[in-house]
Amino acid sequence: MGKDFRPKVHFTAPKNWINDPNGMVYLNGEYHLFYQHYPDAANWGPMHWGHAVTRDLIHWEHKPIALYPDELGYIFSGSTVYDKENISGFGKEGKPPLVAVYTNHSLEGEEVQSIAYSTDYEHFEKYYGNPVVVNDEKNDFRDPKVFYNPIMKGYSFVVAGGEEVDFYFSRNLKDWRKTGSFKAGVNGFGGICECPDCFPIETEAGTKWVLIVSIIVPKDKKGKPLAEGGHFMSHVTQYYIGDFDGSTFVDTEKFKEPLMLDFGTDNYAPVTFQNLEEKVTMGWADNWAYANETPSTEFRGKMTLARKVEMVKTTEGLRLRSIPQGIDRYKTSRREIGKDFRLGTDCFGLLLEGKGKARLCNESGEEIIVEIADNEIILDRSNAGLKEFNSVFASEEYSILRARRLDCTNNKTEIIFDTAFIEVFADGGLIPMSASVYPNNPYEKIVIDGDLRAEFYEIC
């Protein structure tokens, strides 16, 4: 494995820096992933849109950079829409265009929304009328996510606007007008909003709408949350359940605590693929508290596996569950293992049933522990490997992660480990937890404690 820690099936750029997934869309049997990318160094810098495609969500083909910085600024996050009806007029020769809606971030910090289009779905031309949306009142105005508006028969986008998200509508993807706003902190964590998404999803009781908002949680000078009930992490991703009235999102399902899309440290800015009936997300599998300092060499940043999200009813109300995608074919070779299993790979899956602990260990005494307890799920990376590179990463709060269980009758847990990244799907996917680790040597064995039945399958 060496010390580069590049995962095998979690997406990374060919080299250097990536963060937020952008413009994800499904076209002609291929999943397109655009992403925040600085091609010249392994740290954050002037943002471009990188581009890659896949047919199976595991094996990716890298494409040329899709969008470069221009006179309006860096190319920050955004989305794409497959304009099947060519309402934009950008299509040609019977080829519907792919329209990218993104944020330009100037050197002075001004943020505006712009568009670009492509008919070969690889090379983009920027619209001569950019920017298409400006807002002089807000310093933080970014990350538009386009979605079909079934009520007004056109397209809306939801965009982060400071401590709220704003909604805009268009019938041609070029001329946009504001229709409403939703303040994230009224129910849930407050703070600066980023990378929102809004989409319908089917439930037993009919269609609901989900609003995803990633939040920069405000802290005091000692790094503690300013608001009561705030989160220990500086960046979290939460979601709301409700309705979309054509103008804005309405939060109809009130809960005592914020709804978290992931209970780990390393899944930020997740959004869904456009033009795909199923709701499938990917997120940036790192954390702003330490992303620029992680012990990598030629690359920094990775994505989570794609996850299908479904809405299910629990004893505490409706919740989203996450199901990892692209790995089912590897499960055909799964086999039951005993309490002490010797590993021959650093990219594998574990299917657990019951309660107890699963530990991934190496000869250096390093280990990751996943514990399925009576009332909570615990992911302990405090002794998983390198951590001195960043004090926040090494802190107890970021090292021992806990989530209250939502379905204590469902004792099925899936773990996917890939070189230096672990994804846990507990309570049948109701409790996802994602975390990066940096072992000095590969983990060599799995140790099972407690009343746990375990099946193992190799991915790579």
Give me the domains of the chain, ranges plus CATH numbers: 11-134 (2.115.10.20), 328-458 (2.60.120.560)
Encoding tokens for residue 227?
């608001």
Q: Of the candidates 41, 117, 35, which has an alpha carbon nearest to the alpha carbon of residue 75?
A: 35
Q: Bridge partners of 227?
A: none
Catalytic residue among 4, 20, 70, 286: 20
Residue with tokens 């996050």, as numbered in its chain: 77
Distance (Å, rounded) from C-alpha 154 to C-alpha 173? Answer: 9
Neighbours of 411 (CB within 10 A): 19
Given the DSSP bridges, would you call strands 400-404 and 48-54 parallel, antiparallel or unpaired? Answer: unpaired
- φ/ψ of residue 272, rounded to 5: -95, 160
Is 305 in contact with 285 (CB distance < 8 Å)?
A: no
Is 167 in contact with 102 (CB distance < 8 Å)?
A: no
The reported pTM is 0.96
Q: Which residues in the chain show pLDDT less than 50?
A: 1-2
Q: Of the candidates 288, 232, 295, 387, which has an alpha carbon nearest to the alpha carbon of residue 19?
A: 288
Q: Is 136 a catalytic residue?
A: no
Q: Of the candidates 82, 68, 158, 55, which has an alpha carbon nearest to the alpha carbon of residue 113?
A: 158
Is 385 in contact with 442 (CB distance < 8 Å)?
A: no
CA distances from 288 to 88, 90, 178, 237, 434 (A): 36, 37, 30, 13, 14
> What is the three-class DSSP state of 323?
strand
> What is the three-class DSSP state of 175?
coil
Q: Bridge partners of 202?
A: 207
What is the predicted pLDDT for the residue at 204?
Answer: 86
Which helix (DSSP H) or strand (DSSP E) does residue 277 occupy?
Answer: none
Encoding tokens for residue 158?
């939801």
User: What are the tens digits of pLDDT across the range 367-393?
Assistant: 999 999 999 999 999 999 999 999 999
User: What are the tens digits of pLDDT across the range 237-269?
Assistant: 999 999 999 999 999 998 888 999 999 999 999
Q: Which segments of 169-291 does DSSP mark as H helices, in order?
A: none
Distance (Å, rounded) from C-alpha 62 to C-alpha 168? Answer: 32
